[in-house]
Copies of this chain bind each other. A is one copy, B any other.
Amino acid sequence: MTGILYGLGVGPGDPELITLKAHRILRSVPVVAYPAPDEGDSLARAIVAEYFPGGQTEIVIRTPMSLNRFPALEVYDKAAGEVGAHLDAGRDVAILCEGDPFFYGSFMYLYARLAESYRVEIVPGVSSLMACAARTGAPLAARNDILAVLPALLPVAELEARIAAADGIAILKVGRHFEKIRDLLNRMGIAEHCRYVERATMASERILPLEAVAADTVPYFSMILIHKRGQAWQ
């Protein structure tokens, strides 16, 4: 009997925003794996650190990031081999995923390498999308709204067309693209309907109007939320 591979959404940052299911599985599996930067701590592990029962085998998947934030795939070949060896030996493995496993996560690299050979269960989590909306106090989408989720690196003309054509918009992974996007939103005359959020629900969370953001301080984990109706929710 091979083990089960769990893709565990651990939520956006507040440890209390993990689901009961992910919490139970995290505490019961013998092996836990998680991504981490080249040097330093894993964010996914930090979110749920207080729940580790102790005595588990931990696999740290160190992923050196290039400028475009896509890691070398060899890292995942090696990690998949390591995870697969535990599964072959009958041990269940939980892979921790910030937010939700299937919403812009690096989990999919391991999933692609293991899903055909092993039993996999995905435990969905609270994503940064919903967390940012909650923290800014404005609905993401309602009624028959069209919602567009856009990575910040898109060219300005494409961002403009897509923002113009949707009711609710989330711009992800803002980072070094902030100034470009703020200029666009000012030009489109909708900056007042925009909310900037970084590290939603974490201790270091910041929520600011666009004009108050210093562009050189914007991290990768940041989002701009827009709703065309502004505060007119009634």
Q: Which residues in A have some Cβ–Cβ distance to B below 8 Å?
A: 7, 9, 11-12, 14-21, 23-24, 70, 73, 100-105, 108-109, 111-113, 115, 120, 122-127, 130-131, 133-135, 137-151, 153-154, 162, 165, 201, 233-234
8 Å CB contact of A234 from B113, B133, B233: B113
Copies in the complex: 2
Quote the shortest CB–CB distance from A91 to chain B (angstroms): 22
Q: Is the CB of A149 within 8 A of B146?
A: yes
Q: Is the CB of B126 within 8 A of A19?
A: yes
8 Å CB contact of A146 from B103, B139, B150: B150
A14-B21, A20-B17 given as contacts; is B124 within 8 A of A139 (CB)?
no
Q: Is the CB of B151 within 8 A of A134?
A: no
Closest to A104 in B: B141
- Whole-angstrom distance between the alpha carbons of A127 and B130 in the complex? 8
A133-B102, A148-B148 given as contacts; is B16 within 8 A of A139 (CB)?
no
Q: Is the CB of A134 within 8 A of B101?
A: yes
- Whole-angstrom distance between the alpha carbons of A111 and B137 in the complex? 9
Quote the shortest CB–CB distance from A83 to chain B (angstroms): 16
Quote the shortest CB–CB distance from A46 to chain B (angstroms): 16
Closest to A126 in B: B124
